[in-house]
Amino acid sequence: MAESMSLLSGAGSCPCWRVMLTLEEKNLQGYRHKLISFEKNEHKSQEVLELNPRGQVRDKKSNQSLNSSQLTVFILNQFKSQGTKLIPDDPAKQAMMYQRMIEGLGLTEKLNWVVHYEFLVPEGERHEAAQQRHRDALTTELKLWEGYFENVAEGSYLAGPFSLADVVGFPNAAYAFHFGLSPERYPKMAKYYNLLKDRPSIKATWPPKYLESGQGLKDF
């Protein structure tokens, strides 16, 4: 089945990593994978725009092209009997999974605005006050997530066993620490990160550029 799938992804992109993690957890290896360079503006190439007119990279196609990571991870969970069960049956745990998954998308956005402000906003339009608003919003969000990570333990993560909540949550944590977030200031997120960083699916899909250190969150 996986041999009929193709994935276009950008190195270090949280949405792309979500899809790759889901494929790995569902034992859907063997798909065709093409890495796109954001630095070379390849996400705006004709090849990508034909699949996704928004010019964003996280496209998976088999019989149908999908350009939303959220939608893609749900579609991949059609393989219910294969690999890891990523959507719990228990209604309360399922509700918590969806809650944390959706909130995780907001954290990704707030991280991006701080880390990539200079790339997202033209130089002449940048304002210190606007940047500070983004930093304040991220600080508030990170403190909220520290509470969510309060009770994580081996085998019990954002919504119990590893689930779609963690498919979204772990890339956010890895992204934040890669760009210099202080583990001393956010020890519960650091504990969550350390509990999962050696999980086989995570190690198999680890973004090569994360082997280097970034500086976008060095003051957090």
Can you give the pLDDT of all 220 residues of the chain as single tens digits? 666 677 777 777 888 899 899 999 999 887 777 767 555 555 555 555 555 544 344 444 444 556 678 788 888 888 888 899 999 999 999 999 999 999 999 999 999 999 888 667 888 888 889 889 999 999 999 999 999 999 999 999 999 999 999 999 999 999 999 988 999 999 999 999 999 999 999 999 998 877 666 555 666 6
User: What residue type is assigned to position 106 of the chain?
Assistant: G
SS (H, E, C) 141-195: HHHHHHHHCCCCECCEECCECCCHHHHHHHHHHHHHHHCCCCCCCCHHHHHHHHH
User: What residue type is assigned to position 24 of the chain?
Assistant: E
The confidence score (pLDDT) of residue 204 equals 93
The confidence score (pLDDT) of residue 57 equals 40
Residues 6+ apart with CB under 8 A from 190: 177, 183, 184
Q: How many CB atoms lie within 10 A of CB 182?
A: 15
The confidence score (pLDDT) of residue 66 equals 62
121: left (phi over 0), alpha (psi -120 to 50) or beta: beta
Is beta strand 65-66 parallel, antiparallel or unpaired with respect to 59-61?
Answer: antiparallel
Q: What is the DSSP letter of 208?
A: G
The confidence score (pLDDT) of residue 11 equals 73
> Domains plus CATH for the chain?
2-79 (3.40.30.10), 91-205 (1.20.1050.10)
Tokens of 110: 């707030």
Cα(220)–Cα(217) distance, integer angstroms: 5
How much is the pTM? 0.83
The confidence score (pLDDT) of residue 128 equals 87
Unique residue bearing structure tokens 């964003």 = 56
Q: What is the DSSP letter of 33?
A: E
The confidence score (pLDDT) of residue 146 equals 97
Question: For the chain, what is the total number of helices (H) and then of strands (E)?
Answer: 9, 4
The confidence score (pLDDT) of residue 73 equals 87
The confidence score (pLDDT) of residue 86 equals 95
Angle made by CA atoms 139, 145, 150, in degrees to the nearest 5 = 130
Half-sphere CA count of 45, side-chain side, radius 13 A: 14
The answer to whether residues 28 and 76 touch, using CB atoms and an 8 Å cutoff, is yes
